[in-house]
Amino acid sequence: MHQNFSSLSLTHTIMGQPKPGQHVALVVGVTGMAGVALTEALKKPTALGGPWTVYGVSQRPPPEWFPTALLDNHIMLDTLNQNQTHQILSPLSSQITHVFWVAIQVNESEEVNVSLNSSMLSNVLGALTSSPNSKLTHVTLQTGTKQYMGPIFDPTLSAQLAPRDAPFIEDYPRLPFPNFYYALEDILDSYSKSFTYSVHRASIIVGASTTSIYNSLLTLSIYALICKHENYPFRYFGNKYSWEHFWDVSDARLLAEQQIWASVTDKAKNEAFNCTNGDMFTWKMVWRVLCDVFDVEFVPFYEKEKFDLVEFMKDKGEVWDKIVEENGLYKTKMTEVTCVGAIEQVLRLEIQHVCSMNKSREFGFHGYANTLKSIPYWVEKLRQMKILPKGL
């Protein structure tokens, strides 16, 4: 849940004023997987629309692994606090031209999710558009495939859901359930006379951070390392259906690339795009990659003996503490950086989780990533950041 930071001093280190006519990005949720990738992508010399000035917003100070030097301004801000958000962001409204919304608040109840996430976005947009000198021209909104599946983590609704057929297509009608993605799209649409927007529907995101609520790769990595450290078999905990049927994921670098493209491409304005790597895999294929990366033995799926990851991991926090200590890693608590229950639930769905990338290609975005190469890349990145150990 959120904390109120109104009594704290705010990180507000301005490295210099942006040049006239320069694009100024406000990345809200800057320390998450997508935020890290966006920051790095915006600061590349080859970035579309560049050179960019990049302001980053997070609720807490950036962790020591975060590339703070790439930010022109870091703002520590509780966007649920309307007064604080207005106080801090309104003076910047004459500078910020683009908002990249990669923030999220998560609650078990989807109705609460609608309320929390709507408040955050409304507070930020209200602060940035309240001045007649507002320079805001475009907002990119990151959502996901719950657009097509419904609120799968809401225990009062999940049993009633009937996901759309795969591959998921952007113009599928909305499902008749509360969904904070729908609410955020409606908020953007209500500002359509003030600025343009684009919506980016990600699959499972693969990237590097310790602050993302749903970090499946870090969860799987920690699970593999605990198995290796304690000599447990690295067993698959999903069902046979997901083991054998097609899935997709979204490399955080690709998400950043698509969001920047849409933010400066006229025909992409006021459109929604799926954003996945563009390939498909089975979890059996991914499991072999993870076994190679972490040097653990591949265990074939055994349907007759159901394996409960939540039960297995519930007492493994001390093992992770030991791995962190032995390897001099950035201090993390297992329960704070993993999403064990969520990933177990997702991998027990009996659907093919695949998005169509046709619309994105037809509009001119041709980015892609090889998922079976993305996974080792991001594991190595997590090792370089000292979040995961090298060579264990």
pLDDT tens digit at each of 392 positions of the chain: 333 333 233 444 444 566 767 999 999 999 999 999 999 999 999 999 999 999 999 999 999 999 999 999 999 999 999 999 999 999 999 999 999 999 999 999 999 999 999 999 999 999 999 999 999 999 999 999 999 999 999 999 999 999 999 999 999 999 999 999 999 999 999 999 999 999 999 999 999 999 999 999 999 999 999 999 999 999 999 999 999 999 999 999 999 999 999 999 999 999 999 999 999 999 999 999 999 999 999 999 987 778 999 999 999 999 999 999 999 999 999 999 999 999 999 999 999 999 999 999 999 999 999 999 999 999 999 999 999 999 76
Q: What is the pLDDT of residue 20?
A: 67
Mean pLDDT of the chain: 94
146 is catalytic: yes
- Element counts in the chain: helices (H) and strands (E): 15, 9
Which of 90, 16, 93, 86 has the alpha carbon at shortest distance from 53?
16
Q: What is the pLDDT of residue 369?
A: 98
Q: What is the pLDDT of residue 306?
A: 84
User: What gap in Å lies between CA 179 and CA 118, rounded to an integer?
Assistant: 11
Confirm if 321 and 336 have CB atoms less than 8 A apart: no
Q: What is the pLDDT of residue 16?
A: 54
CATH topology of domain 23-205+250-275: Rossmann fold (3.40.50)
Q: Is 211 exposed, middle or buried (0-12, 13-18, 19+ CB in 10 A)?
A: buried
Q: What is the pLDDT of residue 232?
A: 97
Q: What is the pLDDT of residue 255?
A: 98
- For the record, the structure tokens of 152 come out as 């799968």
Query: Strand runs (DSSP E) across 191-244, as ranges?
Result: 196-202, 204-206
Active-site residue identified among 146, 214, 223, 381: 146
Residue range(s) occupied by CATH 3.40.50.720 in the chain: 23-205+250-275
- Its pTM stands at 0.94
Which of 249, 270, 209 has the alpha carbon at shortest distance from 39?
209
Which H or E element spans position 322? helix 317-327
**Residue holding tokens 């080792």?**
376
Give 135's DSSP letter. -
Active-site residue identified among 181, 214, 223, 236: 181
214 is catalytic: no
Q: What is the pLDDT of residue 4?
A: 33
